[in-house]
Amino acid sequence: MEAKNQRTGTGRLTHLSINDSELIIGIDFTNNKRVNELINDKTFYPVLLYPSDKALNIEDKTFYNSLENKKLLIFILDGTWWHARVMLRESSNLMQIPHISFEQKYTSKYFFKKQPKENYLSTIECVYYLLSSLKENNLANKSANYQNLMSIFDRLISQQRQFWGGNDKNSLL
């Protein structure tokens, strides 16, 4: 889900790279018919990938035991961190489902945008680490290769470096 229709954001690039993904655009998803259909579908275990205080650690094996043999359905808010907080605050349905996050600290390669906290990641990086963790825990196709997500992201960063004419984040600040 994303706040606006952006063609080159990491959320859209992620969506185009992942089978079985849906892109739902908006700010307040409380009354969004498709979002509510997915949340209320009893075959799914819906979660939101978001680093809230109540987030469950996806790297903890007990999380996977809680899935109750349902298919994991992951909602991802895409936008600036400010927009993501607004989307979450406005969407009471997404506030009510379990949130998941990482305990392991990753460092973002997204150097040209300032993150509000250390270890915050872009959408494409989050999805890469999420899918890698799911694969390790037998919840994603073992033969799947998610490295293409990071390859796409690396090309995006390279293009932006060329555009800005700098090779380090200090040249962009």
Flag whether pLDDT at 82 surpasses 50.
yes
- 75 class by beta-carbon count within 10 Å (0-12 exposed, 13-18 middle, 19+ buried): buried
Highest mean pLDDT among 10-14, 16-20, 64-68, 104-108 belongs to: 64-68
Using alpha carbons only, give the angle 127, 148, 105 rounded to the nearest 5 degrees.
40
Flag whether pLDDT at 106 surpasses 60.
yes
Our CA dihedral for 35, 41, 45, 49, rounded to 10 degrees, sits at: 0
- Cβ neighbours of 80 (radius 10 Å): 13
pTM: 0.79
In the chain, the percentage of residues whose pLDDT exceeds 70 is 80
pLDDT at 166: 59
Give the pLDDT band of residue 90 (cuts 50, 70, 90).
very high
